Amino acid sequence: MLQNLQRTVRTREELVEELSALLRRRVVLLREAPDHHLAMYMLPIGEHRVLVGDARMAHRLLVDSPARTNLESYLPGGPDFTEATAAQFHAVARQC
């Protein structure tokens, strides 16, 4: 989003204002998030709530699981359980 920001509006704040007026809804832009489409790390579950993934919890669940081998065959380089990625998931949860 930020790489194209200057083509539509001058600032992030102006983007929020424009979208809010157009959609007639409160618009929230995530300040920090994983570099994936939204549905890969969070899911609206109704009543103004979202469910956000937790990379640290996933790591704990998968560390000794046979499922981890299957994941590594689907994901180039295997799952990303780095602290930097976990922090991005946590940042989304905090902001939500």
**Residue 81, pLDDT score:** 87
What gap in Å lies between CA 14 and CA 5, rounded to an integer? 10
Quote the tokens at residue 24.
């007639």
Report the pLDDT averaged over residues 82-91.
94
Q: Residue 75 — φ and ψ, nearest 5°?
A: -105, 120
Strand locations in 1-96 (E): 42-46, 49-52
Residue 83 has pLDDT above 70, yes or no: yes
The C-alpha angle with vertex 93 and arms to 38 and 39, in degrees rounded to 5, equals: 15
Mean pLDDT of the chain: 85
**Every domain of the chain and the residues it spans:** 1-30, 34-96
Q: How far is residue 17's CA from residue 86's CA, in Å, rounded to a whole number?
A: 30
- Check pLDDT > 70 for residue 3: no
